[in-house]
Chain A
Amino acid sequence: MTSESDSIDAAFEQLKHAIRAGLRAEQLLDRLTRLPNDEALTEWLEEKVESSEGFWIAFVEVDRFKSVNDEFGYDSANERLRQLAQCLVTANVSYFDSSSSVFRAHGDEFFIAGPMPQASQKDCEEVSAKLDRVRQDIGGIHIVMERASRPMMCTVSVGWLVSTDSGATDEGCTQPAVRRQLELAVGEAKLERNKVVRFTPEMRRPTTRDARGDCRSCHAKFSVVVPAGNEGDGALFCPNCGERLERPGSLKPQAKLP
């Protein structure tokens, strides 16, 4: 009798542990795509830095995603994200080994990451070529949307780095620094879009006086230097069509001006 009670107690403990593990695993998953989420990515990066294991990581951002959201609504945009997630998972399995993972951090921001113990030039070239194939695969997706007259194409801009690239910077390779560096690289890629760019320590965050982006009205690219002292409330106007642009303070930081 006692041994039966003991075994039930032990089974209860195991079940509690399993439930806790299940809940924690659920917390680390993105609800829309069922990919590991931002918290899982943070954890992955921290573990890699702690263990001093070399790694590569790519930030994949959808081009013109906001316009899809605005034009076709959230449901269509979510469907696009789900298809993109599926494509990334397939590409990850096809091109990289089983130790690499795909994450969805926020909105249209995806990451692919994997270990890279040596970071030789050959390894880096290989990853770069594979990421370019991922970019091309995504470019081949034609997404049918309810409110669109024809299937839509999807392109992505990719910024990536190797842990040694990050370690060579003044701030070093930390979890938050890697994210900032990837933003710089993807910002550089987004200048031309549908491109893969590797982070270099020379990339820098622009000052508040550099403003660049796309005009929402005519879609022309603009690159403006905001006069000193005019950062707070100075409105910007598209040099092409004269449309009022976003305020410089609200612009997403991009890579350096050439």
Chain B
Amino acid sequence: MAKSEANFGALLTTGILAFSPGMIAASNARQKNEARRNAFRRALEVELELFGLELLDLTIGRAQGNVPFWNVACRDGRAQLRTMRVELPLGTDPFGSISHTLLVENAQKAA
């Protein structure tokens, strides 16, 4: 029994090695980025709902001088589309708390 389990373990290891380590590393980085984007978006969605806004689109951009901004599209309670561009201070992490606060503040004004 112990021997067959050991063989099975060796087989699994061979299976893992069949995938390139580079591919797995790239996938890990990709998953991490996706998770960060999704978490930021979800947190924003929850806050916007408090103002009666449904988040439709959130796109990051860079303006002149590499200033980061978010393009936000929302739908209000009367099904009206609202779009806004929220510029962030240069060097701000787009997925950080300052960015989140600025987005919420601007959405509140728009609501």
A-side interface residues toward B, CB under 8 Å? 1, 4-5, 7-8, 11-12, 14-15, 17-22, 24-25, 43, 46-47, 49-50, 52, 54, 163-164, 166-168, 171-177
Contacts and interface: CB of A to CB of B under 8 A. Distances in A.
A38 B83 CA distance: 26
Helix, strand, loop or mixed for chain A's interface?
helix
- What size tier do the contact residues of chain B reach? 20 to 34
Select the residue from B6, B12, B23 with max chain A CB neighbours within 10 A: B12
Given A18-B15, A21-B24, A52-B68, A172 B5 contact: no
Which 10 A-B residue pairs are closest in the complex by CB-CB distance?
A: A21-B27, A174-B61, A11-B12, A18-B19, A172-B61, A173-B62, A172-B63, A21-B24, A167-B62, A8-B9
A216 to B, nearest CB: 37
Contacts of B5: 4-5, 8
Given A18-B24, A21-B27, A52-B68, A163 B12 contact: no
Contacts of A172: 61-63, 69, 85
Contact of A18 (B16, B59, B60, B65): B16
A5 B4 CA distance: 11
7 contacts: A4-B5, A8-B12, A18-B15, A18-B16, A167-B64, A172-B69, A174-B59
Helix, strand, loop or mixed for chain B's interface?
helix
B26 interface: yes
A14 B60 contact: no
B69 to A, nearest CB: 6
Interface string B1-39: 010011011001101101100011011101001000000
Contacts of B23: 21-22, 25
B16 A14 contact: yes
